[in-house]
């Protein structure tokens, strides 16, 4: 049996010369036994190292006492002491490794085995969430999106996006969470034509039957591609040209939004367009135009967003923090 580390019990609160109760005197006797200067009653028929003993006193000290003897000592001590002193001293005794049969201390929560590896994107999760919150992201929806992104249907785990379609279109309401870099960013994104007026979407129910509404819930990205219609975007207000634009097709992954996978020749895509540009916003009080049901972003950040989300990332379209089921 491994030897216990030497321990000291200091009952300074109950000096012997001021002991007034039998419980106080018992605590003094216990402290003496702990420090190797005394002894305690032994348990009859107690097996110690394979031997029976009927002795009335045991000379073993704390550091040599087997665990079962130690437990018996505590039990006898509790019976001898009055209730008040027992509860008080037990709280102090709990700080000692009395019941710690293992020889190593408990691991603090901060370094528990559940901590992610240094190269795991989840290490930067807390600062990332703080950034997303500061940008105005709906945090309950972000939490749902993170949980959904762990599903095997989404092969890309190092990035996701949350589109809060309920915010005004003048807000940067498309939130990109990059777990690899540990950074969150917000971008302009337009809602669908029948989601509501340019200023703000107000209609969310019925999106399954209206192809001009942005589908709610989790969407999965395909590989990026070039579509002739969106290859070059020209700002109709200030003439700025945005060449070499790319897009990414979105796929519905639930029973309520998989309809977008079966509506040829139409496809739901994440793409740029002229009604999300800085020139358009400057002429329309900061508002964006409306799409035909796709998620349309500013050409300035389009390619960066598409490349970061392509090949199986989650794009989660939400109405604030509301559960999607509320709009089915």
Considering the domain boundaries, does residue 11 fall inside one?
A: no
Q: Is the pLDDT of residue 271 over 50?
A: yes
Residue bearing tokens 């019990």 = 9
Considering the domain boundaries, does residue 10 fall inside one?
A: no
pLDDT attached to residue 78: 52
Q: Is the pLDDT of residue 122 over 90?
A: no
Q: Is the pLDDT of residue 216 over 60?
A: yes
Considering the domain boundaries, does residue 167 fall inside one?
A: yes
Asked if 153 and 211 sit in the same domain, the reply is: yes
What are the tens digits of pLDDT across the range 159-212? 999 999 999 999 999 999 999 999 999 999 999 999 999 999 999 999 999 999
| pLDDT confidence band for 227 (50 / 70 / 90) | very high
Report d(CA 154, CA 157) in Å as an integer: 7
Considering the domain boundaries, does residue 7 fall inside one?
A: no
Asked if 321 and 176 sit in the same domain, the reply is: yes
Asked if 215 and 267 sit in the same domain, the reply is: yes
Report d(CA 160, CA 150) in Å as an integer: 11
Asked if 273 and 128 sit in the same domain, the reply is: yes
How many domains, the chain?
2
Asked which of 93, 109, 137 is the last residue of a domain, the reply is 93
Considering the domain boundaries, does residue 172 fall inside one?
A: yes
Residue range of the domain that includes 190: 121-327
pTM to 2 decimals? 0.64
Considering the domain boundaries, does residue 280 fall inside one?
A: yes
pLDDT attached to residue 287: 97
Structure tokens at 84: 């008040």
Asked which of 93, 111, 142 is the last residue of a domain, the reply is 93
Report d(CA 101, CA 271) in Å as an integer: 62
Asked if 171 and 281 sit in the same domain, the reply is: yes
Query: What percent of the chain is modeled with pLDDT above 90?
Result: 61
Asked if 80 and 175 sit in the same domain, the reply is: no
Report d(CA 37, CA 205) in Å as an integer: 80
Asked which of 56, 75, 93 is the last residue of a domain, the reply is 93
Give CA 15 to chain center in angstroms: 51
| pLDDT confidence band for 154 (50 / 70 / 90) | very high
Considering the domain boundaries, does residue 65 fall inside one?
A: yes
Asked if 67 and 151 sit in the same domain, the reply is: no
Asked if 71 and 162 sit in the same domain, the reply is: no
Question: Pairing mode, if any, of strands 51-53 and 57-58?
Answer: unpaired
Considering the domain boundaries, does residue 304 fall inside one?
A: yes
Asked if 313 and 243 sit in the same domain, the reply is: yes
């Amino acid at each position: 049996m491994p030897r216990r580390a030497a321990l000291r019990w200091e009952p300074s609160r109950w000096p012997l010369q001021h002991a007034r109760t039998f419980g106080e005197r018992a605590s003094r006797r216990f402290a003496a036994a702990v420090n190797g200067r005394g002894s305690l009653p032994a348990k009859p028929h107690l097996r110690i190292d394979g031997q029976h003993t009927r002795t009335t006193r045991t000379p073993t000290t704390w550091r040599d006492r087997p665990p079962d003897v130690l437990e018996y000592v505590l039990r006898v001590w509790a019976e001898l002491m009055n209730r008040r002193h027992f509860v008080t001293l037990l709280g102090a005794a709990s700080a000692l490794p009395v019941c710690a049969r293992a020889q190593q201390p408990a691991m603090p929560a901060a370094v528990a085995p559940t901590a992610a590896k240094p190269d795991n994107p989840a290490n930067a999760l807390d600062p990332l969430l703080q950034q997303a919150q500061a940008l105005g992201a709906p945090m309950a929806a972000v939490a749902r999106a993170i949980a959904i992104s762990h599903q095997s249907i989404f092969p890309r785990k190092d990035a996701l996006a949350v589109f809060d379609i309920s915010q005004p279109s003048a807000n940067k309401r498309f939130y990109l969470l990059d777990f690899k870099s540990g950074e969150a960013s917000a971008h302009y994104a337009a809602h669908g034509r029948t989601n509501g007026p340019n200023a703000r979407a107000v209609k969310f129910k019925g999106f399954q039957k209206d192809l001009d509404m942005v589908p709610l819930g989790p969407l999965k990205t395909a590989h990026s591609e070039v579509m002739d219609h969106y290859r070059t975007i020209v700002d109709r207000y200030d003439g700025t040209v945005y060449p070499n634009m790319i897009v990414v097709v979105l796929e519905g992954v639930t029973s309520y939004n998989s309809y977008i996978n079966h509506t040829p020749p139409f496809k739901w895509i994440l793409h740029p367009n002229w009604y999300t540009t800085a020139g358009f916003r400057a002429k329309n009080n900061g508002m964006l135009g409306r799409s035909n049901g796709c998620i349309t972003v500013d050409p300035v950040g389009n390619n960066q967003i598409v490349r970061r989300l392509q090949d199986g990332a989650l794009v989660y379209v939400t109405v604030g923090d509301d559960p999607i089921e509320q709009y089915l």
